[in-house]
A and B are shown apart, each in its own frame.
Chain A
């Protein structure tokens, strides 16, 4: 058993995406609470006491949503008080809190995901998909800043030859267009040079190979399988409306039955996977240190 971030990126992505997607689609306060709890636990395990600002912003969400939702949501029967002849209902307050809880949990999961993933891992995931598209995209991003710098040079040169802007609308427009046009000529020729030198170095002459240091181990397959099984249980329960709350006009929680508890237990298992893997690793290290 390795630490969670040493697992195969595909398995890690699957676990985190399944957890986050169930959080997005299921408006079940208990499930969301479990989700948020384990997301925070894993975040703290990895980051310690840092990022207090992020904690404040994320945990403020449920409160903010709960207080704001009743202001524009008039559903619900339990009126708490009346502002400006608009009812402020307990149901809307509760619903706002639940949606805020969902947002906070999703924020934490995505933060965990982006902490775990580096560009090497992302490339490993998308390598089979389209390396060409990835290349075009990265080059376009690079071109953005290159072109901005070039535009500045062109502008300076134009000014130096006396074609400076006069503050006259038509003149400015024509000047801007001329600069853009000069930039285009330069950009196209520059692009061709880039393409030529890429081909000269053998780009596209054979099957594109790439080096990655990620492999599938039995442990990765086991992790993936466990995650898929647990998620399947939760999704099956959700599709049977076992986890469905009624928020308006009155708050009616789902019946506490065996399937309901089973689904919650399964989700707890799924959300706890990162913490379990990381915790096991930390414990092993601790024991090893003790024995020295």
Chain B
């Protein structure tokens, strides 16, 4: 990413690589590969895509203040993850994405995942969690305007991202337990994880209801006061 000169190409690649090319490879690879290599290769691919995307950030687009605020929000959501069952990590990621931008959202989500896994248990699933939470933040940042305007839309996004998180993690479950990826097995994994998407979605909405007003106001105030 550091050698490509064209701004447009670089930007395009930064989004296409982790979010289009990587999933395509994950879905297409098993046809020509021995099953035992599939899980390690998927893991390496995901990690590589993540690193590539993260390396693409330049200081200019984030700014020192926003950078520091990302580290603050990351630490806060990690602290919040100590709670049992329900986790405010998604809600905090979405909120910081809405007020600090998509890049900040991606970083908050992805870094919270790594950092909290130092406490909750690091494993081969870490890159997938990073990707899942990072994407939730990224899209929330892109949809910042409508999400800030409409509370209903925000809750809808919380619901959706809870389900999406669980479904991204099910890709990992499928690959790990079956050693390959087919849509039939993926469907089975999604169904068998059934209570979790609902719990995630519900806890997201609850936390957004509780935190959207006070946290949103504070983040907006900081943004206004210091011109982020």
Chains A and B come from one and the same complex? yes
B-binding residues in A (CB < 8 A): 24-25, 128-130, 132-133, 135-137, 139-141, 143-144, 146-148, 151, 177, 180-181, 183-185, 187-192, 194-196, 198-199, 203-204
CA distance A61 to B215 in the complex (A): 49
- By a CB distance below 8 angstroms, the chain A residues around B64 are 195, 198-199, 203-204
Closest 8 CB pairs of A and B: A143-B75, A139-B71, A195-B65, A140-B74, A195-B68, A140-B71, A191-B72, A191-B68
Tell me which of B50-58, B138-146, B162-170, B192-200 binds A: B50-58
Secondary structure of the A contact surface, majority rule: helix
A184-B76, A188-B218 given; A144·B68 CB < 8 A: no
Q: Of all chain B residues, which has the CB nearest A196?
A: B65
Contact, CB under 8 Å: B226 / A192: yes
CA distance A139 to B136 in the complex (A): 23
A-B contact pairs, 28 of them (CB 8 A): A25-B40, A128-B2, A130-B54, A130-B55, A132-B62, A132-B67, A137-B71, A139-B68, A140-B72, A140-B78, A141-B75, A143-B74, A144-B75, A144-B78, A147-B76, A151-B79, A177-B211, A177-B214, A183-B76, A184-B215, A184-B218, A185-B218, A188-B218, A192-B65, A192-B69, A195-B64, A198-B64, A199-B64
A-binding residues in B (CB < 8 A): 2, 37, 40, 51, 54-55, 57-59, 62, 64-65, 67-72, 74-76, 78-80, 107, 111, 114-115, 210-211, 214-215, 218-219, 222, 226
Q: Of all chain A residues, which has the CB nearest B66?
A: A195
Q: Of all chain A residues, which has the CB nearest B70?
A: A136
Contact, CB under 8 Å: B59 / A204: yes
CA distance A285 to B181 in the complex (A): 56
CA distance A184 to B37 in the complex (A): 45
A136-B70, A188-B218, A195-B68 given; A147·B75 CB < 8 A: yes
Contact of B67 among A136, A146, A184, A185 (CB under 8 A): A136
Contact of B74 among A25, A136, A184, A198 (CB under 8 A): A136
Contact, CB under 8 Å: B67 / A24: no
- By a CB distance below 8 angstroms, the chain B residues around A204 are 59, 64
Contact of B111 among A136, A146, A192, A194 (CB under 8 A): A136
- By a CB distance below 8 angstroms, the chain A residues around B55 are 129-130, 133
Contact, CB under 8 Å: B54 / A133: yes
The number of A-B residue pairs with CB atoms under 8 Å apart is 101
CA distance A141 to B118 in the complex (A): 10
- By a CB distance below 8 angstroms, the chain A residues around B215 are 181, 184
Q: How far is the CB of A130 from chain B (nearest CB, A)?
A: 5
Q: How far is the CB of A131 from chain B (nearest CB, A)?
A: 9
Q: How far is the CB of A177 from chain B (nearest CB, A)?
A: 6
Q: Of all chain A residues, which has the CB nearest B110?
A: A133
CA distance A17 to B210 in the complex (A): 47
Q: How far is the CB of B205 from chain A (nearest CB, A)?
A: 16
Contact, CB under 8 Å: A140 / B111: yes
Contact, CB under 8 Å: A188 / B40: no
A137-B115, A181-B215 given; A191·B69 CB < 8 A: yes
CA distance A129 to B57 in the complex (A): 10
Q: How far is the CB of A210 from chain B (nearest CB, A)?
A: 14
Contact, CB under 8 Å: B214 / A181: yes
Contact, CB under 8 Å: B76 / A132: no
- By a CB distance below 8 angstroms, the chain A residues around B74 are 136, 140, 143
- By a CB distance below 8 angstroms, the chain A residues around B57 are 130, 132-133
CA distance A82 to B226 in the complex (A): 73
Q: How far is the CB of A162 from chain B (nearest CB, A)?
A: 21
CA distance A177 to B79 in the complex (A): 13
Contact, CB under 8 Å: A188 / B219: yes
Q: How far is the CB of B172 from chain A (nearest CB, A)?
A: 18
Contact, CB under 8 Å: B54 / A141: no
CA distance A180 to B59 in the complex (A): 29
- Name which of A133, A140, A144, A198 has the most chain B CB atoms within 10 A of its CB: A140
Q: How far is the CB of B13 from chain A (nearest CB, A)?
A: 16
Contact, CB under 8 Å: A188 / B72: yes
- By a CB distance below 8 angstroms, the chain B residues around A130 are 54-55, 57
- By a CB distance below 8 angstroms, the chain B residues around A191 are 65, 68-69, 71-72
CA distance A132 to B70 in the complex (A): 12
Q: How far is the CB of B4 from chain A (nearest CB, A)?
A: 15
CA distance A203 to B67 in the complex (A): 12
Q: Of all chain A residues, which has the CB nearest B2?
A: A128
CA distance A269 to B80 in the complex (A): 49
CA distance A130 to B57 in the complex (A): 8
Contact, CB under 8 Å: B51 / A143: no
Contact, CB under 8 Å: B226 / A177: no
